């Protein structure tokens, strides 16, 4: 039951960020001094995952090659130039980009996040896997990030595990909210999932981070489209109806959302302040 692979769906066109997303993919919008996608991949690698599976759309195929693959490719020639010029800080920044083993697959039509996960089945096969959506970054300066917390719990329960984050009742009206039964500590059994509820059944929103098992795939295939999309949440709900155990973990840390302009800006400003504090403390120590 070791989790070796992470699926990262990045097929969306970033329409909420137009017109800027016409020329810069939303995955490369900056958060502090790094692009969003780097935080997502760093979080995956922190868990011990060995391979990243990107799910992309035909429209983003060239963007994927020209941005993501180029960004994560080692630039030896540039490194040599920087070494000759003794640009230590620039070398450090370049070396901070993680090295990844990856595969990619096309989601030919925009049929929802469930369909995107289904496209990764041939690479995942019979193994449990991590899912990280590109709009959700986690920050925790006191311990492991959300995905690592999920993996630690998954190793004990070996069942599908969802990421739960406390929100105010007013905020929950815009999220998927689980109906839950407490098991112990921060672990809950998921009894239902309600999208944008008028009356939230719990204090938790679902974050776009999951640990899933291969049994999710037949449920995705059987899930009926809703407004033209196949939703992962509906496939999970069908598992629950069939008495399959699905759990949720209340995670520690901060959820940095990047799904629209306002949320991304708040996340950017939060990390910018954190970087400013780090630089300030570093300067004080040197002086």
pLDDT tens readout for residues 54-66: 999 888 888 888 8
Residues 175-224 have pLDDT tens digits of 999 999 999 989 999 999 999 999 999 999 999 999 999 999 999 999 99
- Cα 107 from Cα 55, distance rounded (Å): 6
pLDDT at 39 over 90: yes
Dihedral in degrees, nearest 10, Cα atoms 26, 28, 33, 39: 90
Residue ranges of alpha helices (H) inside the chain are 36-46, 61-63, 70-72, 76-84, 88-95, 113-119, 121-124, 146-157, 169-172, 216-222, 232-241, 261-286
Q: What is the mean pLDDT of residues 67-93?
A: 88
Radius of gyration for the chain, computed over Cα atoms and rounded to the nearest angstrom: 20
What was the pLDDT predicted at 281? 61
What was the pLDDT predicted at 123? 95
| Tokens linked to 162 | 């969802």
85-89, 241-245, 273-277: least confidently modelled range: 273-277
What was the pLDDT predicted at 195? 93
DSSP 226: B
What was the pLDDT predicted at 76? 87
What was the pLDDT predicted at 93? 87
What was the pLDDT predicted at 224? 92
Q: Out of 1.10.150.80, 3.40.50.720, 3.90.550.10, 3.40.50.1100, which CATH number does the structure's domain 5-286 have?
A: 3.90.550.10
Contact status, residue 204 vs residue 169, Cβ threshold 8 Å: no
Residues 121-146 have pLDDT tens digits of 999 989 999 999 999 999 998 899 99
* pTM attached to this predicted model: 0.91
Give the chain's length: 287
Q: Are strands 51-56 and 129-132 parallel, antiparallel or unpaired?
A: unpaired
- Cα 10 from Cα 27, distance rounded (Å): 8
With bands split at pLDDT 50, 70 and 90, how would you rate the model's confidence at 147?
very high
């Amino acid at each position: 039951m070791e989790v070796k692979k992470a699926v990262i769906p990045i097929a969306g066109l970033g329409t909420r960020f137009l017109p800027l997303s016409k020329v810069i993919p939303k995955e490369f919008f900056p958060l502090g001094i790094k692009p969003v996608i780097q935080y997502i991949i760093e979080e995956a690698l922190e868990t011990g995952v060995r391979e990243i599976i990107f799910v992309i759309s035909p429209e983003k195929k060239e963007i994927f090659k020209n941005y993501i693959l180029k960004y994560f490719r080692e630039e030896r020639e540039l490194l040599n130039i920087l070494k000759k010029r003794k640009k230590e800080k620039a070398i450090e920044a370049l070396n901070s980009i993680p090295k990844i083993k990856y595969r990619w697959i096309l989601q030919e039509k925009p049929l929802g996040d469930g369909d995107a996960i289904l496209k990764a089945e041939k690479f995942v096969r019979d193994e449990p896997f991590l899912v990280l959506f590109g709009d959700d970054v986690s920050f925790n300066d006191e311990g492991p990030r959300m995905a690592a917390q999920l993996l630690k719990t998954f190793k004990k329960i070996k069942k599908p595990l969802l990421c739960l984050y406390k929100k105010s009742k007013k905020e929950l009206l815009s999220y998927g909210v689980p109906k839950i039964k407490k098991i112990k500590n921060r672990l809950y059994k998921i009894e239902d999932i309600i999208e944008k509820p008028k009356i939230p059944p719990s204090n938790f929103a679902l974050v776009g981070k999951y640990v899933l098992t291969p049994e999710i795939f037949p449920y995705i295939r059987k899930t009926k489209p809703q407004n033209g999309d196949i939703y992962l949440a509906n496939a999970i709900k069908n598992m629950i109806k069939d008495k399959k155990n699905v759990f949720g973990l209340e995670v520690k840390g901060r959820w940095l959302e990047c799904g629209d302009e306002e949320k991304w800006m708040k996340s950017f400003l939060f990390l910018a302040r954190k970087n400013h504090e780090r630089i300030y403390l570093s300067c004080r120590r040197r002086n």
